[in-house]
């Protein structure tokens, strides 16, 4: 299996190369040359373990073991077993919980840092480590986080012998529980850095690191941000499992709390690979670039991201959307490059009507306000459901009101993207109950924190990394 760039001007690469590179050299994102068809594997998805299902998806997206390049590794079993150990995760790593007639929550928050980001980061860490062991190298991983990627990356990479991790988080924009998952690991290879600014400022600093080619090379820099193809791969697994478990005859619809469009695109990939999925709902908060794009065909950034009750989705630009634009334009990379060139210059582009139609055939979108989010948390917390939803999940639940008229009936799945205990203040203010942390991380508030502040200065950040990265040479 080869991976091509959405901007059409980079040489195809292998799965492992695409994962390690992050961005393609022409500025585009990697996508597989074709989507393998796994529709015949329904029973394995519905009945097997998460690790088995992930094995199927990974093998299909990497290519058959005997066709793999030496840098790919012949087997993924070790990585998958370590990533999704029975015992650490509940027997069903991503359980479905019925919320009402024909409606289920797909709970993705049972991993070590209590958000769906663990599903992908646990796997990426193992894939990186295997690849580095094969080539006997070290790596510096940098990651900008709106709150949950950082914690998931820390949990996945803490104590790694070959990888040092630098996490950039926006000061004052993450919950205390989110912050502690980044600052209280006690690991010597993990460096949380507080940035003066919002998530987009953190992301711009990370982009600055990669843009300095000499620095990136000497630091052996790599990213685990949401454009990483391994994240899309891992996340597509739970869509396969849930859709096959619930579909009977017709497809299931899915509502996805959305920020960078990574999770939603993973659903699209699962669908292209044969999962019985109908419409995918893009549930966004006041940061509504995607719902505006779907309504008007115009993708246009706003002046600044708004701080909301669902901070992990407080972003202005949905990085993975470029992959969907590529599909909607019939994989015309040159056209994508033109549109994103305009976006870099003027902060907007308009999709041709045909591509806009394509989007609306696959997705619906809605912007959910903070007051609607709170109202939804109150509604689900009440009898008879008694279900505590995190604010992001509540945005997903509220999005069903926008399901298009005339959409075929079918089971509905709302992705529950974080544990309510990750946002105790927001949940308590809405419903008056304080959600408890699961037993395995109940000592989070007793552990000492360590964090450095780098303001908003690329030079300071580079010096910080140079002094600490074991990969530097």
Q: Would you please indicate which residues are annotated as catalytic (active-site) residues?
A: 117
Site string for ligand PLP, 44-73 (x = CB under 6 A): ------------------------------
> Of 60-68, 261-269, 380-388, 405-413, which segment contacts ligand PLP by CB under 6 A?
261-269
160 contributes a contact to ligand PLP by CB under 6 A: no
Q: Which x/- pattern, by CB under 6 A, does the window 115-134 give for ligand PLP?
A: x-x-----------------
Task: Report the candidate in 246, 440, 226, 219 with the shortest Cα–Cα distance to residue 312.
Answer: 226
- Provide the minimum distance between the beta carbon of 106 and ligand PLP in the complex, in angstroms, as a whole number: 12
Residue 179 in contact with ligand PLP, rule: CB under 6 A = no
Residues in a beta bridge with 187: none
The window from 180-188, 253-261, 345-353, 443-451 that contacts ligand PLP (CB under 6 A) reads 253-261
Cα gap 417→419, rounded to integer Å: 7
Under the binding rule (CB under 6 A), the answer on residue 263 touching ligand PLP is: yes
Residue 284: half-sphere exposure toward Cβ, Cα within 13 Å: 27
Task: Choose, by CB under 6 A, the member of 262, 267, 420, 435 that binds ligand PLP.
Answer: 262
Q: Quick check: 392 binds ligand PLP (CB under 6 A)?
A: yes
Residue with tokens 């109940």: 442
Closest separation in Å from C-beta 261 to ligand PLP: 5
Footprint of ligand PLP on 96-115 (CB under 6 A): 115
Question: From residue 279, how far is each of 47, 90, 381, 414 by CA, in Å?
Answer: 24, 29, 27, 12
Stretch binding ligand PLP (CB under 6 A), from 15-23, 27-35, 154-162, 258-266 = 258-266
Q: Is the peptide bond before 337 cis (omega within 30 degrees of 0)?
A: no
Spatial separation of the C-alpha atoms in residues 96 and 85, rounded to whole Å: 19
Q: Which of 417, 441, 454, 461 is the binder for ligand PLP (CB under 6 A)?
A: 417
* DSSP calls for 66-77: GG--GGG-S--H
Nearer to ligand PLP, 228 or 258 (CB): 258
The alpha carbon of 448 is separated from its chain's Cα centroid by a whole number of angstroms, namely 28
8 A C-beta contact, residue 205 and residue 193: no
Does position 226 interact with ligand PLP (CB under 6 A)? The reply is: yes
Both tokens assigned to 352:
């041709």
Q: Which is nearer to ligand PLP, 189 or 417 (CB)?
A: 417
Near ligand PLP by CB under 6 A: residue from 118, 148, 327, 372: 148
Q: Does 314 bind ligand PLP (CB under 6 A)?
A: no
Phi first, then psi: what are they for 255, rounded to 5°? Answer: -105, 125
**How many whole angstroms separate alpha carbon 81 and alpha carbon 317?**
35
By CB under 6 A, the count of residues binding ligand PLP is: 17
Say if residues 139 and 222 touch (Cβ distance below 8 Å): yes
Nearer to ligand PLP, 261 or 326 (CB): 261
State whether residue 97 is helix, strand or coil.
Answer: strand
260 lies in the site for ligand PLP, by CB under 6 A: yes
Out of 50, 89, 199, 261, the residue judged to bind ligand PLP by CB under 6 A:
261
Place of tokens 């760039």: 5
Under DSSP, the state recorded for 197 is S
* Contact residues for ligand PLP, defined by CB under 6 A: 115, 117, 148, 226, 257-264, 312-313, 392, 417-418
């Amino acid at each position: 299996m080869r991976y091509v760039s959405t901007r059409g001007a980079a040489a195809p690469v292998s799965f492992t190369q695409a994962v390690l590179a992050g961005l393609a050299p022409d500025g585009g994102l990697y996508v597989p040359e074709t989507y393998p068809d796994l529709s015949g594997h329904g029973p394995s998805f519905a009945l097997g373990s998460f690790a088995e299902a992930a094995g199927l998806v990974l093998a299909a997206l990497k290519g058959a073991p005997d066709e793999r390049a030496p840098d790919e590794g012949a087997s993924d079993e070790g990585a998958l077993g370590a990533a999704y150990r029975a015992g650490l995760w509940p027997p069903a790593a991503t359980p479905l919980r019925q919320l009402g007639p024909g409606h289920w929550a797909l709970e993705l928050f049972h991993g070590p840092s209590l958000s769906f980001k663990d599903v992908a980061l646990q796997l990426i860490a193992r894939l990186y480590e295997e690849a580095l062991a094969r080539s006997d190298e070290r790596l510096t991983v940098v990651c900008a986080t709106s709150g949950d990627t950082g914690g998931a990356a820390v949990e996945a990479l803490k104590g790694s012998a070959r990888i040092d991790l630098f996490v950039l988080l926006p000061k004052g924009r993450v919950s205390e529980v989110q912050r502690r998952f980044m600052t209280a690991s006690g690991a010597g290879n993990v460096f949380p850095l507080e940035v003066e600014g919002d998530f987009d400022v953190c992301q711009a600093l990370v982009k600055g690191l990669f843009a300095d080619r000499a620095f990136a090379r000497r630091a052996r820099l790599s990213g685990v941000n949401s454009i990483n193809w391994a994240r899309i791969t891992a996340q597509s697994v739970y869509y396969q499992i849930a859709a096959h478990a619930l579909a009977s005859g017709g497809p299931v619809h899915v509502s996805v709390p959305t920020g960078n469009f990574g999770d939603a695109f993973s659903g699209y990939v699962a669908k292209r690979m044969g999962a019985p999925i109908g419409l995918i709902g893009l549930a966004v908060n006041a940061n509504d670039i995607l719902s505006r794009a779907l309504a008007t065909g115009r993708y246009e950034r706003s002046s600044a991201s708004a701080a909301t009750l669902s901070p992990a989705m407080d972003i202005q630009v949905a990085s993975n959307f470029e992959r969907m634009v590529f599909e909607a334009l019939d994989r015309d990379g040159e056209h994508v490059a033109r549109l994103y060139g305009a976006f870099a210059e003027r902060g907007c582009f308009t999709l041709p009507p045909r591509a806009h139609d394509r989007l609306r055939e696959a997705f619906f979108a809605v912007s959910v306000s903070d007051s609607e989010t709170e109202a939804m948390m109150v509604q689900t917390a009440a009898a008879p459901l008694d279900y505590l939803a995190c604010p992001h999940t509540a945005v997903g639940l509220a999005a069903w009101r926008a399901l298009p008229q005339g959409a075929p009936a079918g089971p509905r799945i709302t992705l529950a993207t974080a544990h309510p205990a990750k946002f105790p203040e927001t949940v308590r203010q809405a419903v008056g109950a304080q959600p408890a942390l699961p037993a395995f991380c109940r000592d989070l508030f007793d552990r000492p924190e360590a964090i450095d502040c780098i303001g908003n200065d690329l030079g300071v950040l580079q010096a910080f990394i140079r002094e600490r990265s074991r990969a530097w040479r």
